[in-house]
Amino acid sequence: MPKTVLTFGTYDVFHVGHLRLLRRAAELGDRLVVGVSADALNVSKKGRAPVFTQDERMEIIAALEMVDDVFVEESLDLKRDYLVEHGADVLAMGDDWEGRFDEFSDICEVVYFPRTPSVSTTEVIEHIASGGVSP
């Protein structure tokens, strides 16, 4: 049986921290599935709409060589359902979520990776909005 790894995220304004997380996640198994959060979910979760739409963000993620399948994460409350539906053996997340998904360790292995330092979508947006002036 191929080992399936699942990860969730917004992946807006794609950057190297996203790439490294997906690479590390893919190395944990044979098949990487990515739940890309819906536009509406981001508005409620982060208080702003993503720069790129969910269709655009999914198109970018699906084009990556280490990604095998992509779906829209419509609700934060459906994580268990998504894990079961996609046959996840491993849930991999950045350590900004450390401990927050341990409740799923009854159905899959839960792994947290250290975030890549000094880069985030929020910081990229703020950097550009400030005219490219470093903080």
Site residues, ligand CTP (CB under 6 A): 9-11, 17-18, 21, 46, 93-94, 96, 115-116, 119-122
Q: What are 116-124's contacts with CB under 8 Å, separation 24+?
A: 116/16, 116/17, 116/20, 116/21, 119/15, 119/16, 119/17, 120/15, 120/17, 121/10, 121/12, 121/13, 121/15, 121/51, 124/13, 124/15
Q: Which is nearer to ligand CTP, 87 or 111 (CB)?
A: 111
Give the residue with the Cβ less far from ligand CTP, 96 or 102.
Answer: 96
- Closer to ligand CTP at the Cβ: 11 or 52? 11
Q: How far is the CB of 12 from ligand CTP (least distance, A)?
A: 6
Give the nearer residue to ligand CTP in terms of CB position, either 96 or 103.
96
Least CB distance from residue 1 to ligand CTP, whole Å? Answer: 25
d(CA 3, CA 19): 20
Least distance from ligand CTP to the Cβ atom of residue 115, Å: 4
CB 124 within 8 Å of CB 105: no
Residue nearest to ligand CTP (CB): 94
